Amino acid sequence: MYRPTIKSNWWLGFMTLAFIALYYWSDSSQINEQVQYYNEKIEAANIVSKAMDVLKYHRLPNFTEDSKEKKETNTLIFTMLGEKDSPITTDEGKIEDKITVLNPNFAAVIIDMMVKTGLKEGDTIAVLLTGSMPGANLAVFAAAKSLKLHPVVITSVGSSWWGANSPDFTWLDMEQVLVQEGVFNVRSSAASIGGSDDNGGLRLSDQGRDMIIEAIDRNEITIIQQNTLSENIKARLEVFRRIMPLSSYKAVINIGGGIASIGHRQNNNLIPNGVNIHLPVKNYPNRGCVHFFADEDVPIIHIGDVQRIARKYGLPIAQLPLPKIGVGKVYIQPKYNLTIATIAFLLMFIILVVVKYFDHKSYKWREEKVDTDTII
């Protein structure tokens, strides 16, 4: 009975080299293909870039286009990063996080998450912001505009280090400028002071509280200022309910660790980053707004650990000058050239058939007592 042998070193060597060559030929045939919603992602990133330019010229009207790159970078930092500490600073923070979300391509990441929750044009979403990461706030606004969503926004005005913590240029002031300049048509529906109890906490002085309240007043935003954190959370939910029932919102986006949004500082680590179709059951120290939405089966998008999210999507950490728009795997995914892969597979198959054919021939010759060496 015939059994394959393929004992010839020549044949084995030929097959090994041929298969290796075909494998590398197929592997090197990868091409970069645009991901789904590529155009919307590019649009959102461009909107963020435009928004930062508008804020930059508003904040520093003497800025000129012919400025050197270093001056432009310093101008961006002064405009979007604020100060390490200020009278309205409510907590510590990492400057690397604040710079990372200034990357306009972060808006493409937000779109990717929105798409994963199943959002579509015309959907209404709840948005919970703080003043700590204005870059991420811009990304959410830009992504919502690109996908034609309707955001209902509530902001905690106080900021951690390096956020929108200039008393005369809070996140609410940025919103106002961007609406006036036609970049966005959405602003916060209500705002609170923020901090460890959403009313300033122990870190904020009376002067700091007054400055935030003044910012809320001058931007004509409804203030949320109840006696306790629990009451502030309820007041937030009531603002959302005045628009529609909580269950009617298609998603909730939370940026950062606003205490009224997530309920407790520890929840920033307990709530998984990114998309949560269903919030995992855990021993949360306290419940914030996101938990009440989760009770209604509303998906949660949580932007907590910014650097982890950036690494997942291939974005650089704290890069200045800012990266170019359209760069990163959030826009492009590698894909094998199926034509080349198919040809490589067929050639491998043909080689196996040929080798088996001659191996079977050699077996017949041995059966017939033919000296195979004389055949050659």
DSSP characters for 24-78?
A: HHHHTT-EEEEPTTHHHHHHHHHHHHHHHHHHHHHH-TT--TTS-HHHHHHHHHH
Q: What length does the chain have?
A: 376
Given this model, what pLDDT does residue 2 score?
44
Higher-pLDDT residue of 336 and 269 is: 269
Among the ranges given (130-134, 151-155, 197-201, 295-299), the one the predictor scored with the smallest mean pLDDT? 197-201
Which regions of 193-235 does DSSP assign to beta strands (E)?
222-224
80 has a pLDDT exceeding 50? yes
- Residues 332-342 have a mean pLDDT of 75
Given this model, what pLDDT does residue 71 score?
55
Given this model, what pLDDT does residue 244 score?
97
Q: What is the pLDDT confidence band of residue 375, given thresholds at 50, 70 and 90?
A: very low
Q: What percent of the chain has pLDDT over 70?
A: 86
Rounded-to-integer distance, Cα 281 and Cα 292, Å: 13
Given this model, what pLDDT does residue 364 score?
59
Rounded-to-integer distance, Cα 192 and Cα 199, Å: 7
Higher-pLDDT residue of 329 and 157 is: 157
- Residues 333-361 have a mean pLDDT of 73
* CA atoms lying within 13 Å on the CB side of residue 315: 31
Higher-pLDDT residue of 85 and 343 is: 85
Tens digits of residue pLDDT in 9-24: 666 777 778 778 877 7
312 has a pLDDT exceeding 60? yes
Given this model, what pLDDT does residue 358 score?
67
Residues 6+ apart with CB under 8 A from 155: 129, 130, 131, 171, 172, 188, 190, 191, 192, 221
Q: What is the pLDDT confidence band of residue 43, given thresholds at 50, 70 and 90?
A: very high
Tens digits of residue pLDDT in 270-296: 999 999 999 999 999 999 999 999 999
Q: What is the pLDDT confidence band of residue 177, given thresholds at 50, 70 and 90?
A: very high
Given this model, what pLDDT does residue 173 score?
97
Given this model, what pLDDT does residue 306 score?
96
310 has a pLDDT exceeding 50? yes
Q: What percent of the chain has pLDDT over 90?
A: 67
Q: Hey, what amino acid is at 263?
A: G
Given this model, what pLDDT does residue 60 score?
80
Main-chain phi, psi angles of 81, to 5 degrees: -105, -15
Higher-pLDDT residue of 209 and 62 is: 209
- Residues 154-169 have a mean pLDDT of 94
Cis peptide before 321 (omega within 30 of 0): yes
Tell me how far apart the 2 most distant CA atoms of the chain are, in Å: 106
Given this model, what pLDDT does residue 186 score?
95
Higher-pLDDT residue of 367 and 128 is: 128
pLDDT mean across residues, the chain: 87
- Residues 208-236 have a mean pLDDT of 96
4 has a pLDDT exceeding 70? no
Given this model, what pLDDT does residue 366 score?
57
Given this model, what pLDDT does residue 368 score?
57
352 has a pLDDT exceeding 90? no
58 has a pLDDT exceeding 50? yes
* CA atoms lying within 13 Å on the CB side of residue 55: 30
Given this model, what pLDDT does residue 374 score?
52
Among the ranges given (68-77, 88-97, 292-301, 324-333), the one the predictor scored with the smallest mean pLDDT? 68-77
DSSP characters for 351-363?
A: HHHHHHHHHHHHH
